[in-house]
Amino acid sequence: MDTNQMFGIMDFIMVGAGGYLLYAWYLLKFKNQIKEGVLIQSGSAKRCKDMEGYKKYIAPKLLLFAMCAIASGALGLYSDYVKPVNNYLYLGLTAIFFVVLILFVRYIKKAQEMFF
């Protein structure tokens, strides 16, 4: 397996993870369900003190995280299989994704302290 195939697999995983995060956002926003295992630990959804407050706090951040994951993976797939893009663009979007990932983890921990 060469490097391009390995990056292609990782980009497929990124797009899939972004889609799953988008599904978790949909459940939270429109069905009032917290996707356990993504946003919180399993079994602790029933302990939420303020569901509307939690939804307002975390839903926009979850949507941003999902969109960054999808965009980063899609650009990687495009670069791997269609036409190579500028390396700075690819690395820049990947860096943005990792910054959003770190911030999202911090927001999730803060939300657990505030709403659970």
The model's pTM is 0.86
pLDDT at site 5 = 74
φ, ψ (nearest 5 deg) of residue 40: -140, 170
> Of 47, 50, 49, 45, whose CA–CA distance to 27 is shortest?
45
Q: How far is CA 36 from the centre of its chain?
A: 14
Low-confidence ranges of the chain (pLDDT < 50): none
43-73: pLDDT as tens digits: 666 777 888 898 999 999 999 999 999 999 9
DSSP-derived letter for residue 84 is P
pLDDT at 2: 57
Written as one string, the DSSP assignment of 54-71 is: HHHHHHHHHHHHHHHHHH
